[in-house]
């Protein structure tokens, strides 16, 4: 699996998560009603939420974006930690790990439009096998995402949105002596996202695509991501959730496409005016890839 390409959608996911909600499921004061990543702007004085947005479970999930934008004037800050592990196919004694720390900032621009930016710092390590250990550390690529909700229904409670994202190659390049923290090229992509409520249940679905641009893309044609998440609001302050996350990296030339299906279990904890999300995902099936487990832990503050 080409790790920098995976980071593109991870930063985009972080850059489009839902904000914190109050204990009764309503938006926290100043939190709005608006999930790697990904996950990489700002008027003030939060607007009052419309009546139909004042109830319902939390939309945010660990690895699946949601379709509910931040309310106009609301500002969000999020700090996320996302470690992952991998093993080289055919060489069980060679493995690696990455530790990502990502800071994201977002703002609601219009009732159905918000913008987020995210930038991370990575620590990478790969060791074992016949090659010497390789390490890398430094800033990752910067991500910018724009989410526009084009459909909002009160009954049934459904939001539909499109997300556009761009990633700038601000990460460190890979060298013979060090692992790179960036993908080495600009990339752009988009996603169609749906969020639905049937209290106390909530669900998100996402289909996204991202492609590198220019000569730096190499043999990578693009990355397809399909995610489905379902959560149960068992208490005002707790929502367990499960997800299926599929990733298909399309290649050109002799290299085979890389495909991975993950299963995810997570907890969403609204603690107004903050929200905490923790999740773990494990590969259920993969082809021509080397993915291992991945974790995420994120704290978001809305004001």
Do 287 and 258 touch, CB atoms closer than 8 A? Answer: yes
Q: Which residue, 87, 84, 90, is CA-closest to 282?
A: 84
pLDDT of residue 129: 54
Do 134 and 126 touch, CB atoms closer than 8 A? Answer: yes
pTM exceeds 0.75, yes or no? yes
Give the other-Cβ count within 10 Å of 230's Cβ: 17
Low-confidence ranges of the chain (pLDDT < 50): 1-54, 90-92
Per DSSP, the three-state class of 26 is coil
Tell the burial category of 100 from Cβ atoms under 10 Å away from its Cβ (0-12, 13-18, 19+): buried
pLDDT of residue 111: 95
Q: Which domain holds residue 134?
A: 3-302
Per DSSP, the three-state class of 176 is coil
d(CA 12, CA 56): 25
Tokens of 160: 């539909």
d(CA 229, CA 13): 13
Q: What are phi and psi of 72, to 5 degrees?
A: -55, 135
d(CA 40, CA 187): 12
d(CA 208, CA 195): 15
Contact residues for 56 (Cβ-Cβ < 8 A; gap 6+): 25, 26, 157, 197, 199, 202
Tell the burial category of 110 from Cβ atoms under 10 Å away from its Cβ (0-12, 13-18, 19+): exposed
Q: What is the CATH number of the domain that holds 142?
A: 2.40.128.130
Task: Indicate the number of domains in the chain.
Answer: 1
Tokens of 92: 């069980």
Do 246 and 261 touch, CB atoms closer than 8 A? Answer: yes
- 43-75 burial, b at 16+ Cβ within 10 Å, e below that, comes to eeebeebeeebeebbbbbbbbbbbbbbbbbbbb
């Amino acid at each position: 699996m080409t790790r920098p390409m995976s980071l593109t959608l991870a930063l985009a996911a972080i850059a489009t998560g839902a904000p914190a909600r109050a204990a009764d499921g309503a938006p926290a004061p100043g939190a709005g009603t608006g999930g790697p990543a990904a996950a990489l702007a700002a008027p003030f004085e939060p607007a009052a939420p419309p009546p139909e947005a004042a109830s319902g479970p939390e939309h945010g999930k660990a690895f699946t974006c949601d379709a509910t934008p931040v309310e106009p004037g609301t500002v969000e800050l999020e700090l996320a930690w996302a470690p992952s592990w991998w093993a080289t196919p055919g060489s069980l004694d060679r493995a690696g790990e990455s530790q990502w720390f990502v800071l994201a900032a977002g703002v609601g621009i219009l009732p159905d439009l918000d913008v987020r930016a995210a930038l991370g710092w990575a620590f990478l390590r790969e060791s074992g096998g016949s090659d010497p250990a390789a390490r890398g550390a430094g800033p990752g690529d910067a991500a910018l995402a724009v989410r526009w909700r084009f459909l909002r229904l009160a009954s049934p409670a459904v939001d539909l949105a499109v997300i556009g994202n761009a990633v700038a190659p601000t990460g460190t390049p890979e060298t013979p002596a060090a692992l790179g923290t960036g993908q080495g090229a600009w990339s752009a992509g988009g996603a169609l996202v749906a969020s639905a409520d049937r209290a106390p249940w909530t669900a998100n679905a996402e289909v996204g695509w991202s492609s590198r641009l220019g000569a730096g893309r190499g043999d990578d044609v693009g990355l397809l991501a399909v995610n489905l998440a379902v959560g149960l609001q068992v208490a005002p302050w707790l929502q367990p959730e499960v997800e299926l996350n599929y990733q298909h990296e399309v290649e050109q030339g002799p290299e085979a496409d890389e495909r991975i299906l993950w299963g995810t279990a997570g907890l969403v904890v609204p603690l107004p005016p903050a929200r905490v999300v923790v999740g773990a995902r494990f590969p259920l099936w993969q082809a021509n890839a080397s993915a291992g487990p991945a974790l995420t832990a994120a704290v978001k503050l809305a004001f």
